[in-house]
A and B are shown apart, each in its own frame.
Chain A
Amino acid sequence: MKAEKYLGRIEISPHAIASIAGQAVLECYGVVGMANKNFADGLTDLLPGARYQRGISVEVVELQIYIDLYVAIQYGTRISEVAIGIMNRVKYSVEKTVGLPVAQVNVHVQKLQMDDK
């Protein structure tokens, strides 16, 4: 997306927005990882470190940012509360950093992570 006026243009790619969203979501309590958005079903292994972006999709439609997050949540947390936390934190982080409105943050819980033991 692009903002124009004054001295020049400001361009922000959806990729960059996804990075910001990714940072924010991984700091949310209860989120133990991202899962691949391309899996409808089947393997839902967690994405390793640098690849968490594959669990995020960002769309910009008519100046509004739409974010979809595919997450794995820690078993033992209340999923609805964690999801609301994700929505608030991601919306806040993206709006604060990018300065543009986030219309939707959709949280897709792909997996519940049980403890190892």
Chain B
Amino acid sequence: MTEEQTQSLPPLKSIGGQEIKQLFAASLVWLEKHCAYINSLNVFPVPDGDSGTNMLLTMQAALKETNNSPQHSASAIGGLLAKGAHLGGRGNSGVILSVIIQGFARAIEGKDTITANDFASALTEASKVAYKGVQKPVEGTILTVCREAAAAAVAAAVETDDLREVLARTVNEARASVIRTPTLLPVLKEAGVVDAGGQGLLVIFEGALKYLRGEPMEMEAGGAGAQNLEMISREEGWGYDIQFHIRGQNLDVDAIREMLFSMGESALIVGDAEIIKVHIHAPNPGEIIKYGAEQGALVNVIIENMQEQYIDFMAGKAANSKPPIAVEDVAGIFTVVVAPGDGLARVFESMGAGAVITGGQAKNPSIEEILNAVNSAKGDNVIILPNNKNIIPAAEQVKPLTAKKVVVVPTKTVPQGVAAMFAFNFQNDLETNAQAMTRAMQNVDTLEVTTASRTVTLDGVPVKEGQVIGIVNGKLAGAGDQRDDLTVRLLQEMGAAEKEILTIYYGDTVQPADANAFGNRVQTELKGLQVEVMRGNQPHYHYIISVE
């Protein structure tokens, strides 16, 4: 159908600001008509189900900004739409739509009119900008639809400079992309729906295309593509979730679909003359099954009570029918960590350490202290992180003194201990964890910066009492009079610039402001590193630095 209609109109080479406004207004009208349907596509039982409403309000806010604006430049109108969308973005889908509009507007900045090519590249830019807004993009959403539609627009713009044709192909691909969303996102497939946000974007494109073609804004009965997945709002009740296949001969898919649509909601009926898959929600499963059985042989019948599922889910909150729950801090494996300074203790606690014993270079904890911590553990499996070479032997000696199963991961420094904690996985058993933690601690280099307590030559480095010294992985690496200069020099010698993350734990001798300033300096002098500054509050050591 698209070919004929497109060819009957003269090619549209470019549009200006006022036309963009008209297109937007048309999209808005079309979206309004589909709003209830899009809202019904909600799959999460959380209040983000109003995708249609949210996108509609976002579009309205965008368009309102252009009201009464006589501007004829595409750039100016685009800017106004972007501003309106930014300030009026509502809900998850609305926010994404607002970012798409902003990305599009930025790409057409400075242009009085936009051509087919401009449209395609602006849509591509919009998709890129939209993807930047999320750390872990989930595919099968409005993002996917936007990206794939943009790619189709780019391909079309290579072949033709007719905006109408490019938009037509964009719509076609967007529709195909929407239909594919359940194959990418399992939660959609389970619910038998397409992605609501993606559907909304499709409708927006469709509205614009209809305007360009001069078509009326009327709903097609049983329209093509994604609209086939007829949906009714879930507010009408939860009822039963019914799934089955009908096997038979000469099955009339359309007639069966039409009949079932009238009997339930969220219906998805697909198949051919020999087998039809039915997925439907209905208050009375008996009628549906009876009807299905009249059409052919039923197989793979699944009936679930959604009301019960929902009640069960909600009951989890009230914890009425659930086992009594007690609070306990720890998984099956308990970790006992030795850390100097309360700042470092908090770092370990925030990572899930079961017990933290204060101690370090100048104050080694006694075997008894470690033993007490091990015995206080709620579980029978304990991992000890000594975080100091001199404490490892004491930790080892705890083993025969307790009935619990104890593994010492021989961390010699605090950074090794932190790396080991990061490798801890509560789902794994003791041995697996110990191995993973031992491996992880070897991937970290440690620089400890302190003040020499006497004049000595060690590891070939002459040191005067009172000088600042740096210890790299347990070996004296350098001495100097200026703390920060020495530290930066040693970091460079360690090859820290080639690593990724540098964490500075500053001790009780360093002011927070100084530590942050030092962090900024390291960031500047060793480019490309991710530098973190944390309060360790350890005694004696000005800095304990982890390089990984």
Contact = CB atoms under 8 A, between A and B. Distances in A.
Interface of A: 1-6, 10-16, 23, 26-33, 36-39, 42-43, 45, 47-48, 50-51, 53-54, 57, 60-63, 74, 76-78, 81-82, 84-85, 88-89, 91-92, 95-96, 99-101, 115
B400 interface: no
Interface stretch (B66-74, B234-242, B326-334): B326-334
A32 B132 contact: yes
A76 B135 contact: no
Contact of A95 (B316, B346, B422, B532): B316
A23 B136 CA distance: 9
A1 B516 contact: no
A11 B333 CA distance: 11
A45 B500 CA distance: 13
A50 B423 CA distance: 10
B512 A100 contact: no
Given A30-B95, A78-B89, A63 B325 contact: yes
Interface in B338-352: 346-347, 350-352
Give the size range of B's interface with the partner: 35 or more
B426 A31 contact: no
A63 B327 contact: yes
B95 A100 contact: no
B534 interface: yes
B323 A13 contact: no
A42 B427 CA distance: 36
Interface of B: 44-48, 86-92, 94-96, 98-99, 102, 129, 132-136, 138, 313, 316-319, 322-332, 346-347, 350-352, 422, 424, 426-427, 500-501, 512, 516, 519-520, 530-535
A45 B86 CA distance: 25
Most buried by A among B95, B313, B329, B530: B95
A48 B530 CA distance: 8
Contacts of A2: 325-328
B322 A3 contact: yes
Given A45-B532, A77-B89, A100 B316 contact: yes
Nearest to A16: B426
B282 to A, nearest CB: 25
A43 B519 contact: yes
Contact of B87 (A6, A78, A100): A78
A74 B99 contact: yes
B351 A27 contact: no
A28 B134 CA distance: 7
B532 A6 contact: no
A76 B86 contact: yes
A89 B45 CA distance: 10
B413 to A, nearest CB: 18
Given A4-B326, A31-B134, A42-B516, A78 B86 contact: yes
A26 B138 CA distance: 10
A6 B516 CA distance: 53
Contact of B46 (A26, A62, A76, A92): A92
Nearest to B379: A11
